[in-house]
Structure 1
Amino acid sequence: MSRAHDLVIVGGGPAGLATALYAARAGFDAVVAEPRRAPVDKACGEGLMPGAVRALASLGLEVPGHPITGIRYVQGAHRVQAAFRRGPGLGVRRTALHDALHGAVLAAGVPVLPLRIGEVRQDATGVSLPGAGLRTRWLVAADGLHSPVRRSLGLCAGSRRRPRYGLRRHYAVPPWSPYVEVHCGRHGEAYVTPLGPRLVGVALLTDRRAPFGAQLERFPELAARLPAERAVTAVRGAGPLRQKARARLHGRVLLVGDAAGYVDALTGEGVSLALTGAGALVDNVRRGTPERYESDWNRATRGHRLLTELLVRARQQRALAPLVVPAAERLPRVFAAAVNALA
């Protein structure tokens, strides 16, 4: 067993890499364990809200992407949109985001080791990872939606909600709007994110298990803009999206990003919350107040979780779902306030 590190971060996605950058800034000896080769791709809406853009800039990162000026909801003949008030968002390929974060972590002197973490043993002074030959004062679980570390610690909590899934594909067509468009259908939503002069990403969120093409056909206006021959990537999927964690702190293990719990991708805040959680985690370890991380995480994510939960519940109610966008259309100021509160 090697000497003890300050932090071993399990998972090299945005949450884990951001935690590593904050840890390096705080002077910690940190290591990232990530068995997949960079860049790591995954099913993702790929739209960064302005808060995430600002957080990345504060870390000294410039990520290549396509400016996003706001959010537009579409449901049949109903449309409502809101512009971001505090700067643009950014449409960014997941691989480009990962490349930028991964490069910054290596430049900061934090090793990214090709290790898969198995057994986790805790004691009063730290955490041992026998299979990886590592010892650390604190272990950070940033290993995603279906976190093996969370599961191994018995921190997974069940949900009675109907499960929802995400599917994503890219099309070589020019963006027709500077907004992220959210098309609302009977059984889910389709997100269109401008990613470049001739590239859009399409993410489908649904409670129905069916191939991407069959799901897209449920949005005929959108499907007409996206001929199958213009698809340029394979379909990637994720889910079930809702994941509940009983706690964000368990002894000397702290959970961050999707591993800390996830409601839904409906409001597109996953990366923003990962960056916020990473900063709060490292701040509390640096101050010697890890017990405060749980309350800080709850406070920082409460608004997002409540609004997302409310929207998902409304969208899954047969009587309420058709009324969401028309109501927002009649109350544009309320819609704009909600968008910018999240942004």
Structure 2
Amino acid sequence: MSETAPALQSVQDRRPAGESADVIVVGAGPSGSTVAYYLAQAGLDVLLLEKTAFPREKVCGDGLTPRAVKQLTAMGVSLDDKAWIRNHGLRIIGGGVRIELPWPELGEFPDFGLVRTRHDFDQILAERAVSAGARLLQRTNVTGPVIDPRGNRIVGVNAKDPDGEPVTYRAPLVVAADGNSSRLSVAMGIRKRDDRPMGVAVRTYFTSPRHDDDYLESWLELWDRTEGRDVLLPGYGWVFGVGDGTSNVGLGILNSTASFRDVDYRALLRRWTESMPAEWGFTQDNQQGAIRGAALPMGFNRTPHYTRGLLLVGDAGGMINPFNGEGIAYAMEAGHIAADVIVQAHARPTQQTRERTLLRYPRILSETYGGYYTLGRYFVKMIGQPEFMKYATKYGLPQRTLMRFTLKMLANLTEPTRGDAMDRVINGLSRIAPAA
């Protein structure tokens, strides 16, 4: 637990129920805390509502690419704590090939990644939001929107306080950062899109001598034995050293094949880890905690990202990268974008000009990620073809230059201007791909 955890609770204890704010943020995960941090920094009165209490666990690979590291440093998060485990790049295993690819050296992003468990990662970001002036209410479960019948706009939320008593909070703008299920978005009529990829991730922890590995490790081949035959599944496995004596071991499966719904993910993870070298310690005796799973909403699978006073960020807006399943970096980036738009809208003198400004939010998201996420959807379809994956791992992995390009593409790590030839190709493809 972070040393400053009591400050979070004391903020809640000092505040009465049923208050108002300039903005309500529902959910204190990475996206919600980032929004709250930048809004509070700009002087807005922000109410950050979290249904659980910190510290709390979330299902995640715990690995952070340089994109996420950039967002952490921008928020003033200190990385001196020894619990931040630095890594140099990505180790890829598949088709009998093992290759280590350092993170690219770029001016736009740092050249290292991090690992830290979600047990206290989210709390660290929430603490940054509180330090900037946001008002955090923990164990406050939002049950639905408050709608103004005159304008059919959201003007607050109904919730239950820590004692289970109903309470209403009001604000002219609300940010939905309440995760994949996003009950608030559903209540506002914003449903998931069936034309976007979806994944499932399962993970657990093992006591292992590999806990201090300084590379993130990705296994590109996931085999499942079904009815006496081996089936190559669309997804990947991972091994991330946490540095505390344990490794985070998990797998992600995409819905790009018919076998997606028939997979017993937990059983598959158990079979996969049992096939690992014995000296790694990935056995039930060394397992720390249960196997837990979560959905991975990808490629903007819930839109529009702004409507009638409600902005969507993070998993609520389906912002996970289809190429690699990364969500934290994009949640934090979108949170920063949303905060910038809200601050600008707050300064406008009329409701009409405020609304015009708020409508920029989905356009900025589309311009920033739309083409790249479209490429990601094509990629998901390709890796859903077993023959393509067999060919790619056999002939692609040994080609180091090609794999350097692939790492930049999958992790979205390029220089926006004046990059090398690889950067120009990736950026060019992202620009010309349709953002629909």
**TM-score exceeds 0.5:** yes
Paired residues in the alignment total 343
2:172 equivalent to 1:174: no
Q: Quickly say closer, same or farther: Cα 1:244–1:126, change in 2 above 3 A.
A: closer
2:334 equivalent to 1:277: yes
**2:185 matched to which residue of 1?**
150
2:265 equivalent to 1:236: no
Q: Quickly say closer, same or farther: Cα 1:210–1:275, change in 2 above 3 A.
A: same
Q: Quickly say closer, same or farther: Cα 1:162–1:19, change in 2 above 3 A.
A: closer
Q: Report the Cα distance in structure 2 between the residues aligned to 1:318 and 1:51, rounded to whole angstroms.
A: 30
Q: Report the Cα distance in structure 1 between the residues aligned to 2:73 and 2:113, rounded to whole angstroms.
A: 12
Q: Quickly say closer, same or farther: Cα 1:148–1:258, change in 2 above 3 A.
A: same
Deviation at 1:25, TM superposition (A): 1.0
Aligned counterpart in structure 1 of residue 131 of structure 2, from 107, 117, 122 = 107
Q: Report the Cα distance in structure 2 between the residues aligned to 1:247 and 1:151, rounded to whole angstroms.
A: 12
Q: Report the Cα distance in structure 2 between the residues aligned to 1:158 and 1:166, rounded to whole angstroms.
A: 19
Aligned counterpart in structure 1 of residue 362 of structure 2, from 294, 311, 316 = 294
8 Å contact kept, 1:38–1:102: no
**1:326 matched to which residue of 2?**
394
8 Å contact kept, 1:172–1:198: yes
Q: Report the Cα distance in structure 2 between the residues aligned to 1:40 and 1:265, rounded to whole angstroms.
A: 26
Which digits, 9 at most, give the CA deviation of each residue in 1:106-153, with x for residues without a partner?
A: 323322213222231344586132443211021000000111112112
8 Å contact kept, 1:72–1:81: yes
Q: Report the Cα distance in structure 2 between the residues aligned to 1:282 and 1:121, rounded to whole angstroms.
A: 21
Q: Report the Cα distance in structure 2 between the residues aligned to 1:331 and 1:198, rounded to whole angstroms.
A: 34
2:283 equivalent to 1:227: yes
Which moved further from structure 2: 55-64 or 11-20?
Answer: 55-64
Deviation at 1:14, TM superposition (A): 1.0
2:309 equivalent to 1:252: yes
Deviation at 1:268, TM superposition (A): 4.0
Q: Report the Cα distance in structure 1 between the residues aligned to 2:246 and 2:382, rounded to whole angstroms.
A: 31
Look up the SS of the partner of 1:42 in the other structure: coil
Aligned counterpart in structure 2 of residue 118 of structure 1, from 120, 143, 162 = 143
2:57 equivalent to 1:33: no
Q: Report the Cα distance in structure 2 between the residues aligned to 1:223 and 1:12, rounded to whole angstroms.
A: 39
Look up the SS of the partner of 2:60 in the other structure: coil
TM-score (norm 2): 0.72
Deviation at 1:266, TM superposition (A): 5.5
8 Å contact kept, 2:59–2:292: yes
Q: Quickly say closer, same or farther: Cα 1:2–1:25, change in 2 above 3 A.
A: same
Amino acid at match of 2:168: G
8 Å contact kept, 1:79–1:325: no
Aligned counterpart in structure 2 of residue 315 of structure 1, from 379, 383, 393 = 383
Amino acid at match of 1:127: V
Unaligned runs of 5+ in 2: 1-16, 105-109, 160-166, 223-231, 254-259, 346-356, 414-436
Look up the SS of the partner of 1:151 in the other structure: helix
Deviation at 1:330, TM superposition (A): 4.2
2:271 equivalent to 1:217: yes
Deviation at 1:6, TM superposition (A): 1.2
Q: Quickly say closer, same or farther: Cα 1:246–1:139, change in 2 above 3 A.
A: same
Structure with larger Rg:
2
Amino acid at match of 2:78: E
Q: Quickly say closer, same or farther: Cα 1:83–1:74, change in 2 above 3 A.
A: same
**2:93 matched to which residue of 1?**
74
8 Å contact kept, 1:140–1:254: yes
Look up the SS of the partner of 2:377 in the other structure: helix
Deviation at 1:4, TM superposition (A): 3.6
Q: Report the Cα distance in structure 1 between the residues aligned to 2:284 and 2:190, rounded to whole angstroms.
A: 42
Which digits, 9 at most, give the CA deviation of each residue in 1:253-281, with x for residues without a partner?
A: 00000101145675142010011001100
Deviation at 1:217, TM superposition (A): 1.6
- The CA RMSD over aligned residues, in Å, is 2.5
Q: Quickly say closer, same or farther: Cα 1:181–1:10, change in 2 above 3 A.
A: same
Alignment of 1:25-104 (within 5 A): 25-63=41-79, 64-85=83-104, 86-104=110-128
Deviation at 1:246, TM superposition (A): 2.4
Deviation at 1:81, TM superposition (A): 3.3
Q: Quickly say closer, same or farther: Cα 1:83–1:313, change in 2 above 3 A.
A: same
Which moved further from structure 2: 203-212 or 85-94?
Answer: 203-212
Q: Report the Cα distance in structure 1 between the residues aligned to 2:207 and 2:297, rounded to whole angstroms.
A: 27
8 Å contact kept, 1:205–1:266: no
Q: Report the Cα distance in structure 2 between the residues aligned to 1:105 and 1:263, rounded to whole angstroms.
A: 23
Look up the SS of the partner of 2:387 in the other structure: coil
Aligned counterpart in structure 2 of residue 204 of structure 1, from 228, 236, 251 = 251
Q: Quickly say closer, same or farther: Cα 1:7–1:161, change in 2 above 3 A.
A: closer
Deviation at 1:251, TM superposition (A): 1.2
Q: Report the Cα distance in structure 2 between the residues aligned to 1:174 and 1:73, rounded to whole angstroms.
A: 19
Which moved further from structure 2: 5-14 or 123-132?
Answer: 123-132
**1:8 matched to which residue of 2?**
24
Unaligned runs of 5+ in 1: none
Look up the SS of the partner of 2:331 in the other structure: helix
- State percent identity of aligned pairs: 23
Look up the SS of the partner of 2:203 in the other structure: strand
Q: Quickly say closer, same or farther: Cα 1:26–1:260, change in 2 above 3 A.
A: same
Q: Quickly say closer, same or farther: Cα 1:294–1:223, change in 2 above 3 A.
A: farther
